[in-house]
Structure formats: C-alpha cells, structure tokens
Amino acid sequence: MRSGADGESPHADAPPFRTFSQNYPVNALAEAFAEGILVGHSDMPEFRLEPDQIEAMIAYLESVQNQ
C-alpha cells in the first residue's frame, strides 16, 4: 500500500494525502499545522509542526495533489 501520488491510504478512515485539495486548500493548512491538528479518527495523535516543518509538509502535500 502506498500513499502519496498513488495507492490507498494506509489507514481506512483517512483519505489519501493527494485528495486533500478536493475539500480544503492545501496552502490554508499552515495555521492549523502551527496550532495543532486534531483528526477525525481516534488513533492519530494531535500534532504541531515548527515553521520549517510546516513549509516542508505543505510543499509535499502540494506535490502529490491530484490535478
């Protein structure tokens, strides 16, 4: 199983990263990454990213989005 540019999400309740932009602008996630993200499935912990990590995560998410 792969996530990224193709394949299914490793978690059945989580969408593949490449589909985020279908429901939410990827570049609008910076504030959420800085403040902490709580997700819809219980086995994923809350996490916060540092500014350089936010830039890297957004760049990665943008690079794998379906066009």
* pLDDT at residue 46 tops 90: no
> What does the pLDDT read at residue 40?
60
- This prediction has a pTM of 0.69
For residue 2, what pLDDT is reported? 47
- The neighbouring-strand residues paired with 47 are 37
pLDDT band with cut points at 50, 70 and 90 for residue 55: very high
CA distance from start to end of the chain: 21
Q: Residue 13 has what pLDDT?
A: 75
pLDDT higher than threshold 50 for residue 1: no
What is the per-residue pLDDT for 56? 94
